[in-house]
Amino acid sequence: MSGAPTLLRPRAARKSFDDRRAEIVRKAASFFAQSGFDATTRELAAWLGTTQPLMYRYFPSKNALIEEVYEAVFLQSWDTAWDALLTDRTRPLHDRLCDFYNRYTDAIMHPEWMRIYLFAGLKGVDITGLYIARVEARIIRPVMVEMCAETGLVITPDNEAKLLELAWSLQGGIFYYGVRKFVYATPVHGEKRAMIEAAVDVYVKAWPK
Protein backbone atom coordinates (compact mmCIF):
# COMPACT_ATOMS: atom_id res chain seq x y z
CA MET A 1 0.00 0.00 0.00
CA SER A 2 2.65 2.46 1.08
CA GLY A 3 4.97 3.75 -1.55
CA ALA A 4 7.88 3.81 0.90
CA PRO A 5 10.08 0.69 1.01
CA THR A 6 9.19 -1.46 4.00
CA LEU A 7 12.46 -1.28 5.92
CA LEU A 8 12.74 -3.00 9.27
CA ARG A 9 15.95 -1.13 9.84
CA PRO A 10 16.72 2.54 9.24
CA ARG A 11 19.32 3.24 6.60
CA ALA A 12 22.81 3.26 8.10
CA ALA A 13 24.31 6.68 8.62
CA ARG A 14 26.81 7.56 5.94
CA LYS A 15 30.33 7.57 7.38
CA SER A 16 33.84 8.18 6.10
CA PHE A 17 35.74 5.15 4.84
CA ASP A 18 38.16 5.13 7.77
CA ASP A 19 35.49 5.61 10.41
CA ARG A 20 33.30 2.84 9.06
CA ARG A 21 36.23 0.50 8.71
CA ALA A 22 37.35 1.07 12.30
CA GLU A 23 33.79 0.66 13.53
CA ILE A 24 33.43 -2.67 11.76
CA VAL A 25 36.60 -4.06 13.33
CA ARG A 26 35.60 -2.84 16.77
CA LYS A 27 32.05 -4.11 16.69
CA ALA A 28 33.03 -7.34 14.95
CA ALA A 29 35.28 -8.11 17.92
CA SER A 30 32.40 -8.04 20.39
CA PHE A 31 30.10 -9.77 17.94
CA PHE A 32 32.48 -12.67 17.24
CA ALA A 33 33.32 -12.86 20.94
CA GLN A 34 29.68 -13.56 21.65
CA SER A 35 28.75 -15.72 18.67
CA GLY A 36 32.00 -17.32 17.59
CA PHE A 37 33.79 -16.97 14.29
CA ASP A 38 31.32 -19.21 12.51
CA ALA A 39 28.54 -16.70 13.02
CA THR A 40 27.23 -15.40 9.72
CA THR A 41 28.05 -12.16 7.99
CA ARG A 42 24.33 -11.41 7.92
CA GLU A 43 24.14 -11.56 11.70
CA LEU A 44 27.22 -9.38 11.86
CA ALA A 45 25.54 -6.85 9.59
CA ALA A 46 22.50 -6.78 11.87
CA TRP A 47 24.87 -6.18 14.80
CA LEU A 48 26.49 -3.35 12.85
CA GLY A 49 23.15 -1.88 11.79
CA THR A 50 24.02 -2.19 8.11
CA THR A 51 23.41 -4.62 5.29
CA GLN A 52 25.46 -7.73 4.70
CA PRO A 53 27.36 -6.75 1.52
CA LEU A 54 28.69 -3.58 3.11
CA MET A 55 31.64 -5.20 4.85
CA TYR A 56 32.93 -6.40 1.47
CA ARG A 57 33.68 -2.80 0.58
CA TYR A 58 36.11 -2.72 3.48
CA PHE A 59 37.45 -6.27 3.69
CA PRO A 60 37.97 -8.70 0.82
CA SER A 61 36.55 -11.60 2.81
CA LYS A 62 35.15 -12.60 6.16
CA ASN A 63 38.49 -14.16 7.07
CA ALA A 64 40.35 -10.94 6.33
CA LEU A 65 38.09 -9.15 8.80
CA ILE A 66 38.67 -11.86 11.39
CA GLU A 67 42.43 -11.47 10.99
CA GLU A 68 42.10 -7.78 11.78
CA VAL A 69 40.03 -8.60 14.84
CA TYR A 70 42.81 -10.87 16.10
CA GLU A 71 45.37 -8.13 15.71
CA ALA A 72 43.17 -5.57 17.42
CA VAL A 73 42.56 -7.88 20.37
CA PHE A 74 45.95 -9.53 20.88
CA LEU A 75 48.52 -7.06 19.62
CA GLN A 76 47.06 -3.75 20.69
CA SER A 77 46.18 -4.71 24.26
CA TRP A 78 49.66 -4.90 25.79
CA ASP A 79 50.68 -2.11 28.11
CA THR A 80 54.46 -1.66 28.13
CA ALA A 81 54.23 -0.24 31.66
CA TRP A 82 53.51 -3.77 32.91
CA ASP A 83 57.05 -4.93 32.17
CA ALA A 84 58.70 -2.33 34.35
CA LEU A 85 56.19 -2.96 37.12
CA LEU A 86 57.19 -6.58 37.57
CA THR A 87 60.91 -5.89 37.91
CA ASP A 88 60.80 -2.78 40.09
CA ARG A 89 62.75 -4.07 43.05
CA THR A 90 62.21 -0.92 45.08
CA ARG A 91 58.80 -2.38 45.92
CA PRO A 92 57.99 -5.55 47.89
CA LEU A 93 57.50 -8.51 45.57
CA HIS A 94 54.04 -9.29 46.88
CA ASP A 95 52.84 -5.76 46.11
CA ARG A 96 54.41 -5.77 42.66
CA LEU A 97 52.78 -9.05 41.71
CA CYS A 98 49.36 -8.07 42.99
CA ASP A 99 49.62 -4.72 41.28
CA PHE A 100 50.69 -6.30 38.02
CA TYR A 101 48.05 -9.01 37.99
CA ASN A 102 45.32 -6.56 38.90
CA ARG A 103 46.25 -4.35 35.96
CA TYR A 104 46.88 -7.19 33.54
CA THR A 105 43.56 -8.85 34.32
CA ASP A 106 41.79 -5.51 34.11
CA ALA A 107 42.93 -5.46 30.48
CA ILE A 108 42.06 -9.03 29.48
CA MET A 109 39.36 -10.25 31.83
CA HIS A 110 36.28 -9.25 29.94
CA PRO A 111 34.09 -11.41 27.69
CA GLU A 112 35.47 -10.02 24.47
CA TRP A 113 39.12 -10.74 25.10
CA MET A 114 38.73 -14.06 26.87
CA ARG A 115 36.26 -15.59 24.46
CA ILE A 116 38.18 -14.52 21.36
CA TYR A 117 41.35 -15.87 22.94
CA LEU A 118 39.73 -19.28 23.39
CA PHE A 119 37.95 -19.26 20.03
CA ALA A 120 41.25 -18.48 18.33
CA GLY A 121 43.11 -21.15 20.30
CA LEU A 122 40.62 -23.85 19.38
CA LYS A 123 40.76 -22.76 15.77
CA GLY A 124 44.54 -23.10 15.79
CA VAL A 125 45.20 -19.50 14.83
CA ASP A 126 48.93 -18.75 14.66
CA ILE A 127 48.72 -15.52 16.60
CA THR A 128 47.75 -17.29 19.83
CA GLY A 129 51.05 -19.16 19.88
CA LEU A 130 52.85 -15.86 19.47
CA TYR A 131 50.78 -14.39 22.28
CA ILE A 132 51.63 -17.24 24.65
CA ALA A 133 55.30 -16.92 23.77
CA ARG A 134 55.11 -13.24 24.67
CA VAL A 135 53.37 -14.02 27.96
CA GLU A 136 56.10 -16.47 28.84
CA ALA A 137 58.89 -14.06 27.90
CA ARG A 138 57.42 -10.98 29.55
CA ILE A 139 55.39 -12.31 32.48
CA ILE A 140 56.18 -15.90 33.39
CA ARG A 141 59.95 -15.63 33.11
CA PRO A 142 60.20 -12.29 34.93
CA VAL A 143 57.95 -13.62 37.69
CA MET A 144 60.20 -16.66 38.04
CA VAL A 145 63.32 -14.53 38.13
CA GLU A 146 61.88 -12.12 40.70
CA MET A 147 60.60 -14.92 42.90
CA CYS A 148 63.98 -16.65 42.88
CA ALA A 149 65.77 -13.37 43.56
CA GLU A 150 63.56 -13.05 46.63
CA THR A 151 64.18 -16.53 48.00
CA GLY A 152 67.79 -16.74 46.87
CA LEU A 153 67.22 -19.80 44.71
CA VAL A 154 69.67 -20.02 41.81
CA ILE A 155 68.06 -20.90 38.49
CA THR A 156 69.82 -23.78 36.76
CA PRO A 157 69.04 -25.88 33.69
CA ASP A 158 67.92 -28.56 36.13
CA ASN A 159 65.27 -26.59 37.99
CA GLU A 160 64.25 -24.09 35.34
CA ALA A 161 61.47 -26.21 33.82
CA LYS A 162 59.85 -26.77 37.21
CA LEU A 163 60.11 -23.09 38.12
CA LEU A 164 58.67 -21.91 34.82
CA GLU A 165 55.72 -24.23 35.24
CA LEU A 166 55.24 -23.01 38.79
CA ALA A 167 55.02 -19.44 37.55
CA TRP A 168 52.65 -20.63 34.83
CA SER A 169 50.44 -22.26 37.45
CA LEU A 170 50.06 -18.94 39.24
CA GLN A 171 49.13 -17.30 35.95
CA GLY A 172 46.77 -20.15 35.07
CA GLY A 173 45.07 -20.13 38.44
CA ILE A 174 44.30 -16.44 38.08
CA PHE A 175 43.31 -16.80 34.43
CA TYR A 176 40.88 -19.61 35.11
CA TYR A 177 38.87 -17.31 37.36
CA GLY A 178 38.10 -15.30 34.25
CA VAL A 179 37.33 -18.40 32.22
CA ARG A 180 34.77 -19.52 34.77
CA LYS A 181 33.22 -16.08 34.91
CA PHE A 182 33.18 -15.05 31.25
CA VAL A 183 33.22 -18.29 29.29
CA TYR A 184 31.22 -20.62 31.50
CA ALA A 185 29.12 -17.86 33.06
CA THR A 186 29.51 -19.58 36.41
CA PRO A 187 29.28 -17.63 39.68
CA VAL A 188 32.67 -16.89 41.23
CA HIS A 189 33.28 -16.26 44.90
CA GLY A 190 34.26 -12.73 45.76
CA GLU A 191 36.10 -10.05 43.85
CA LYS A 192 38.97 -10.59 41.45
CA ARG A 193 41.24 -8.46 43.62
CA ALA A 194 40.80 -10.73 46.64
CA MET A 195 41.43 -13.84 44.56
CA ILE A 196 44.65 -12.37 43.15
CA GLU A 197 45.81 -11.30 46.59
CA ALA A 198 45.27 -14.77 48.05
CA ALA A 199 46.91 -16.63 45.16
CA VAL A 200 49.95 -14.35 44.98
CA ASP A 201 50.35 -14.67 48.73
CA VAL A 202 50.59 -18.45 48.55
CA TYR A 203 53.24 -18.38 45.83
CA VAL A 204 55.34 -15.68 47.48
CA LYS A 205 55.24 -17.49 50.81
CA ALA A 206 56.08 -20.95 49.52
CA TRP A 207 58.23 -20.33 46.44
CA PRO A 208 61.15 -22.83 46.54
CA LYS A 209 64.29 -21.69 48.30
Partner DNA sequence: CCGGCTATTTATCGTTAGATAAATCTTACC
Partner DNA sequence: GGTAAGATTTATCTAACGATAAATAGCCGG
Which residues bind to a copy of itself, rule: CB under 8 A?
36, 38, 115, 118-119, 121-124, 128-129, 132-133, 160-162, 164-166, 168-177, 179-180, 183-186, 188-190, 194-195, 198-199, 201-203, 205-208
The residues, any chain, with a CB within 8 Å of residue 36's CB and separated by 6 or more, are 119
Instruction: Decide which of DNA, a copy of itself, none touches 121; Cβ closer than 5 to 8 Å per partner kind.
Output: a copy of itself
Instruction: Decide which of a copy of itself, DNA, none touches 63; Cβ closer than 5 to 8 Å per partner kind.
Output: DNA
Choose between 24 and 148: whose C-beta lies nearer to DNA. 24
Instruction: Decide which of a copy of itself, DNA, none touches 205; Cβ closer than 5 to 8 Å per partner kind.
Output: a copy of itself
Choose between 63 and 151: whose C-beta lies nearer to DNA. 63
User: Exposed/middle/buried for 27, CB within 10 Å: 0-12, 13-18, 19+?
Assistant: middle
Report, in Å, the least distance between residue 130 CB and DNA.
24
Measuring CA to CA, which residue among 117, 113, 87, 114 is closest to residue 100? 87
Instruction: Decide which of a copy of itself, DNA, none touches 51; Cβ closer than 5 to 8 Å per partner kind.
Output: DNA
**3-state SS assignment for residue 58:** coil
- Rounded Cα distance between 168 and 171, Å, is 5
Report, in Å, the least distance between residue 19 CB and a copy of itself.
31
Instruction: Decide which of DNA, a copy of itself, none touches 62; Cβ closer than 5 to 8 Å per partner kind.
Output: DNA
Q: Alpha helices of the chain — where are they, by DSSP H?
A: 17-35, 41-48, 62-70, 81-86, 93-108, 111-123, 126-135, 141-151, 160-178, 192-206
- Rounded Cα distance between 201 and 91, Å, is 15
The residues, any chain, with a CB within 8 Å of residue 11's CB and separated by 6 or more, are none
**Sites of contact with DNA (CB under 7 A):** 5, 7, 9, 11-17, 20, 39-43, 50-54, 56-57, 60-63
CB atoms within 10 A of CB 35: 15
Report, in Å, the least distance between residue 205 CB and a copy of itself.
4
